[in-house]
Amino acid sequence: MNQAPSHNSLPLLDLRAVGKTFRLHARASEPMCVFENFDLQLYAGECVVLTGSSGCGKSTLLRLIFGNYLLQSGRICVRHNGGVVDIASSTPREILRLRRWTLGYVSQFLRVIPRVPALQIVAEPLRQRGVPAEMARPRAAQMLERLHVPPRLWRLPPATFSGGEQQRVNLARAFVADYPVMLLDEPTAALDSENRNTVMALMEECKNRGAGLLGVFHDVEVRAAVGTRFVNVEAFRGNHG
């Protein structure tokens, strides 16, 4: 595990003694400890790459930070609106505010919304922040164009798109707003080389504006190009499963 660089500023994300356990019915409810005592600080302008074998908990960690999973132990503190919010003790309403203003997230799959056009899906994060439609739509269109989603698809619901097209819509939606923290779960998995290069450029732009990125990248070239620090999740694996 690489050590965090020396910083005068406070971290954007501060994980302390984080632990996560699942109970599997197939194992007669025997607890399976994914990791424990996980510590990590994420600072502005860096991209921390989570490493480790498949199934070691990399995606689970991102979902914990985003508030999709509950913590068993520890704290996940996020700098938000001039203060600090602990994910573990946040209400659903507070989690939604964090997602609107602070936490961007690229999952491996787009949550397809029936009958909603791609342009509207991409513009939604801006509209949720109060950006007028006449300003949000052009920015959404610009991001779709940059990710090579053809204009003929913008008015169609992504449920009809290919997997690669859906992923590009997913990426456009995540990068259209300037989130201070970006959580990236295999953002380039379904992309060709041209779109992969576009996403790497978008990630570099995020770092340059002072965002912090935390991601899982199985593509070795992408990992080497964007990563500034590497953390092996398996180093925090528990002794219970």
| pLDDT tens, residue by residue, 57-69 | 899 999 999 999 8
Give the model's confidence band at 159: pLDDT under 50 very low, under 70 low, under 90 confident, else very high.
confident
Is pLDDT at 18 greater than 60 in this prediction? Answer: yes
pLDDT mean across residues, the chain:
90
Q: Which of the pair, 4 or 32, is modelled with greater confidence?
A: 32
The residue type found at 163 is G
**CA-wise closest residue to 45 among 158, 230, 233, 207:** 207
Its pTM stands at 0.91
* Share of residues in the chain with pLDDT > 90 (%): 73
The per-residue pLDDT for 107 is 87
Rounded CA separation 234/73 (Å)? 17
Q: Give Cα separations from 226 to 47, 102, 166, 222, 241 (angstroms).
A: 7, 21, 23, 6, 32
The per-residue pLDDT for 226 is 95
The per-residue pLDDT for 55 is 79
Question: 102-138 pLDDT, tens per residue?
Answer: 999 998 776 767 789 999 999 999 999 999 999 999 9
